[in-house]
Amino acid sequence: MSYIFFHITAAAYFVATLIYIAYLFSHRAGLVRAGRYLLYGGFGAHTVTIIGRWIEAGRTPATSLHESLTLYAWLTVALYIVLLYRYRITVLGAFVAPFAFLLLVTASLLPKEIVPLAPALESYWLPVHVILAFLGNAFFTLACIFGIMYLIQDRYLKKRRIKGLYFILPSVEILDELNYRCLTYGFPLLTLAIITGAIWSEYSLGSYWSWEARQIWSLITWFLYAALLHGRLTTGWRGRKSAMFSVVAFAVLIGSFFIIYLLFGGAHGLLR
Amino acid sequence: MNLVIVGLNHRTAPIDIRERLSFQGESIEEALGRLVGQYDINECVILSTCNRVEIVGISQEIEKGIREIKRFLSEYHSIPLRDLDDHLYVHTGEDAVRHLFRVASGLDSMVMGEPQILGQVKDSYSIAVQNDTAGVIINKLFHKAFSVAKRIRTETRIGAAAVSISYAAVELAKKIFGNLTGKTVMLVGAGEMAELAAKHLLTAGVREILITNRTYERAVEMAREFRGSAVMFREFLHYIKGVDIVIASTGSPNFIIRPDDVMGVMRERKHRPMFFIDIAVPRNIDPLVNNIDNAYLFDIDDLQGVVEANLKERAREAEEADAIIDEEMDTFYRWINSLDVVPTIIALKQRLEKIRKSELEKALGQLNGLSEREIRTLDAMTSSITKKILHNPINRLKKEANNVDGDFYIEAVRKLFELEDEEALKKTRSGEE
């Protein structure tokens, strides 16, 4: 049942993506509005999808890659909506819509069955841990998107090319600021996700830390973002450097996430 | 009722002709009076700016309207018509509506999309209103033109991109800083263009302005004018770290701001972005400054390039604006066509006939067993009631249709009896065939 809504969501994000692409070329205000409404509509269907899955599975829908990607996309779009209300950067949807759509396409290609969770892992730590982790990821995603937008706008200004996206992208200072804000939210969330993960691991498996791939890579990502924030706060890293760094750190984050899933068949290789 | 626009603009007439044809201040009121009083024009508006003179008139017949307005222009300004005729353009009917919409939206202006023209059109219209030369059509036409212009301004970016160098600088500043409130600007050297840019920046919210010049007195003088503070020329690099926007325009033959200076400053200001505007020739700021992260340098040619790019963007937006005009034209023209007296009378008659028929049927349904003759009597009676009711209004409409207030009567009848525009249009068309 919830799978119909999954399709509706993906379709809405797809059409929104097409509309936003048209917007990037034509700069018509009507298009950006249409894209936004489609994203809202898609988000509604998305919410139904997740609630439905939650009820069907009887637990947080984040134990298969299919579920995880769906949840991750949902949190990213939710965060986009919050940021839109706060900062009115309408062009943001043009980046979020294709990203959310790609996540859902990937999710749709993966096995959709509800896999029973190993009894040892049943715990209240499951929702706490995965929601913290994916909310952190959503913030890092937005940080990366703002970084990309920054790099594009910076290039237009440096090359004095006054055309195309220059007209619709916000100023570099605002983009830099938003990149930073997202990092300052993403980082504590990642830290908490690692800590709750360790507690959960101790609770169900009897050890806080077992040096498995997921743990190692989240630690690496943690260090990358720590270095980035440190650079921003102390040595005044700003603009291009910070934007590029947040794109790279995000690539590591997302890359390691997928590779571990594909190699070990689960977020932690525990579900085989 | 026919709409006629006769006029000339910067494209059709050289400045000396435009000068001779222009109407100044008070003279417009008198000219409006003469047009309606002595010439065969029912309603009119005179639009006179430095780039155009246009007379928007309503007349009984198109050809006559054109002739009368031309005669007026020639007689009023004492220029023989043959000297004038080549420079004049004429728009009538639908074409005239479109023309007026384009003028009001700035699409016909020398600098495409400039906003001043709308204000000038509004002024011209209100003078016509004050002098009672604006009737129903002119009123509706101009109000529509204002709303179209507004719609174009909000739905397209026609007026968004700056088309002067000093505005281009402000716009770039907004793409670097977003919000200019609380930013600090420094003028290095004084020049007309630098001052202009500084003025625009202050309007855009820049908080503080520092001014430096080789002659300190000049800097002090300007600082007073801008309510800023003067800085000694040899010390200006010390102050630059607190400055977000630097406008250089000195006559110095060498670079006065070099990459090394900027690099040091950047560290001190924690790499917050800086915007350098170099409008001096020869240049004052080493172009390599642009290679420093978070420093953006634009010289005079770059700014000129921005202006050109913006003009291109405006031309692109103009296509969209024209599409909006097409859309609005449709609704407006439907209305204007409905103002013909004949279809209005037909529609009015039909309206009453319909009411009469339905009421008659209702009554007959209740009165059973009437004879053929009785039914005919009832029919004749009701029919003569509606005819008698309509007699005066229709005569009045026919008579008034040829006067200034004619459209007012027609519009009133249409509103009072809720006559459908579409219906009337169909009738006229089928009647013509």
| Interval A181-231: pLDDT, tens | 999 999 999 999 999 999 988 888 788 888 888 888 899 999 999 999 999
Same domain (yes/no): A129, A39? no
CB count in 10 Å sphere of residue A174 = 21
pLDDT value for A191: 96
Q: Are residues B136 and B246 in the same domain?
A: no
Which of A89, A116, A143 finishes a domain?
Answer: A116
Helix axes A29-57, A65-87, angle to 10 degrees: 140
Whether residue B175 and residue A153 make contact (CB cut-off 8 A), yes or no, is yes
Asked whether residue B326 is domain-assigned, the answer is: no
Asked if the Cβ–Cβ distance from A157 to B172 is below 8 Å, we say yes
A172 touches chain B (CB under 8 A): yes
* Domain end (from B110, B131, B155): B155
In chain B, residues with a C-beta closer than 8 Å to the C-beta of A238 are 270-273, 293-294
Number of domains comprising chain B: 3
State the number of CA atoms in the 13 A half-sphere of B349 facing the CB. 16
In sequence order, the 6+-apart residues with CB closer than 8 A to the CB of B37 are: none
Q: Which of B112-116, B320-324, B365-369, B421-425 has the lowest mean pLDDT?
A: B421-425
A160 to B302: CB separation less than 8 angstroms, yes or no: yes
A167–B161 CB contact, under 8 Å: yes
What's residue B433's pLDDT?
Answer: 34
Amino acid at A127: P
How sure is the predictor about B432, in pLDDT bands with cuts at 50, 70 and 90? very low
Quote the distance between the C-alpha of residue B50 and its chain's center: 15
CB A83 within 8 A of CB A179: no
Q: What is the pLDDT of residues A132-176, one digit of tens each?
A: 999 999 999 999 999 999 999 999 999 998 888 998 999 999 999
Q: Are residues A126 and A257 in the same domain?
A: yes
User: Which range marks the domain in which residue B423 is found?
Assistant: 339-432
pLDDT at B431: 41
Quick check: B179 pLDDT over 90?
A: no
What tokens appear for A228 in the block? Answer: 């980035």
d(CA B43, CA B37): 10
Average pLDDT over residues B92-112: 89
Q: What is the CATH number for B78?
A: 3.30.460.30
**In terms of residue numbers, what domain contains A145?**
118-272
**B298/A160 Cβ within 8 A:** yes
Q: Which residue of B has its CA nearest to A87?
A: B178
Q: Residue window 31-70, chain B: list those with CB within 8 Å of chain A.
A: none
Candidates B263, B253, B254, B216; CA nearest to B236 is B216
Best of B267, B276, B294 to substitute, by most chain A Cβ atoms within 10 angstroms, is B294
pLDDT at B429: 44
Domain boundary residue, one of B100, B130, B155: B155
B chain contacts of residue A169, beta-carbon cutoff 8 Å: 175
Residue B29 lies in a domain: yes
pLDDT score recorded for residue A244: 95
Shortest Cα distance, chain A CAs vs residue B167, angstroms = 14
Would you state the pLDDT for residue B343?
Answer: 78
Are residues A231 and A137 both part of a single domain?
A: yes
Q: Looking at the domain assignment, is residue B266 inside a domain?
A: yes
Contact at CB, B157 and A157, closer than 8 angstroms: no
Among the partner residues A153, A158, A241, nearest to B290 by beta-carbon distance: A158
- Residues B42 and B142 occupy one common structural domain: yes
Q: Does B247 lie in the same domain as B194?
A: yes
Q: Are residue A124 and residue A244 in the same domain, yes or no?
A: yes
In this structure, the answer to whether residues A268 and A141 fall within a common structural domain is yes
Q: Are residues A109 and A128 in the same domain?
A: no
Q: Are residues A196 and A254 in the same domain?
A: yes
Rounded to the nearest 5°, which phi and psi values hold at B47? Answer: -110, 120
CATH of the domain at B247: 3.40.50.720
Say whether both B115 and B184 belong to one domain.
no
Q: Does residue B190 share a domain with residue B128?
A: no
Residues B46 and B150 in one domain: yes
**Same domain for B10 and B147?**
yes
* pLDDT above 70 coverage of chain B, percent: 94
Q: Does B267 touch chain A (CB under 8 A)?
A: yes
Spatial CB neighbours of B13, under 8 Å, sequence gap ≥ 6: B21, B87
Cα A139 to its chain centre, rounded Å, is 6
**Which domain-ending residue is among A116, A140, A170?**
A116
My answer on whether B192 and B221 are in the same domain is yes
Give per-residue burial for A97-119: e unless 16+ CB within 10 Å, then b. Answer: bbbbbebbeebeeeeeebeebee
| Closest approach of B341 to chain A, Cα-based (Å) | 40
Note the pLDDT tens digit of each residue in B286-342. Answer: 999 999 999 999 998 999 888 888 888 888 888 889 989 988 888 787 777 667 777
CB atoms A173 and B176 under 8 Å = yes
Whether A167 has its CB under 8 Å from any CB of chain B: the answer is yes
Model confidence at B114, in pLDDT bands (50, 70, 90)? confident
Chain A residues whose CB is inside 8 A of the B183 CB are none
Q: Is B306 touching A (CB cutoff 8 A)?
A: yes
Residues A93 and A123 in one domain: no
End position of a domain, from candidates B255, B287, B307:
B307
Nearest to A241 among B270, B293, B320 (CB): B293
Q: Specify whether the CB–CB gap between B309 and A162 falls below 8 A.
A: yes
Distance in Å, alpha carbon of B325 to nearest chain A alpha carbon: 16
Q: Which pLDDT band, with edges at 50, 70 and 90, does A267 fall under?
A: low
Q: Give A43→chain B minimum CA distance, Å.
A: 27
Do A228 and A194 fall within a single domain? yes
Percent of chain B with pLDDT over 90: 40
Task: Give the strand order in the sheet containing B295-299.
Answer: B229-232, B208-213, B184-188, B245-248, B274-278, B295-299
Q: Say whether both B174 and B292 belong to one domain.
A: yes
B355 and B266 share one domain:
no
Query: Residue A272 pLDDT > 50, yes or no?
Result: no
A154 and A221 both lie in a single domain: yes
Answer yes or no: do A128 and A106 share one domain: no
Residues of A within 8 A of B305 (CB-CB) are: 160, 162
Q: Are residues B144 and B223 in the same domain?
A: no
CB atoms near residue B343 (< 10 Å): 23
pLDDT at A122 over 80: no
Report the chain A residue with the minimal C-alpha distance to residue B287: A158
* Residue that is last in its domain, among A56, A84, A116: A116
Structurally, chain A folds into a number of domains equal to 2
CB atoms within 10 A of CB A209: 13
Q: Rounded distance, CA B225 to CA B135, Å?
A: 49
Is A238 within 8 Å of B293 when comparing Cβ atoms? yes
CA-CA distance, B54 to B129, in Å (whole number)? Answer: 17
Which residues in chain A have Cβ-Cβ distances shorter than 8 Å to B296? 157-158
Q: Does residue B108 surpass a pLDDT of 50?
A: yes
Place of tokens 């008139």: B57
Q: Cis link prior to B282 (omega < 30° from 0)? A: yes
A22 Cβ under 8 Å from any chain B Cβ? no
Please report whether residue B324 resides in a domain: no
Nearest to B55 by CA among B114, B119, B138: B138
Exposure letters B54-91 (e unless 16+ CB within 10 A, then b): bbbbbbeeeeebbbbbbebbbebeeeeeeebeebbebb
Residue numbers in B near A153 (CB within 8 A): 175
B175 shares a domain with B99: no
Catalytic residue among B15, B50, B281, B367: B50
Note whether residue B272 is domain-resident.
Answer: yes
Q: What is the pLDDT of residues A221-243, one digit of tens each?
A: 999 999 999 999 888 788 899 99
- Ramachandran category for residue B26: left, alpha or beta (phi over 0 → left; psi -120 to 50 → alpha): alpha
pLDDT on residue B315: 84
Residue B192 lies in a domain: yes
Distance CA B159, CA B113 (A): 5
One domain for residues A198 and A74: no
Asked whether residue B318 is assigned to any structural domain, the reply reads no
Q: Give catalytic status of residue B44 as yes or no.
A: no
Distance of CA A160 to the CA centre of its chain: 32
Query: Is residue B27 situated within a structural domain?
Result: yes
The H or E element containing residue B9 is: strand B2-9
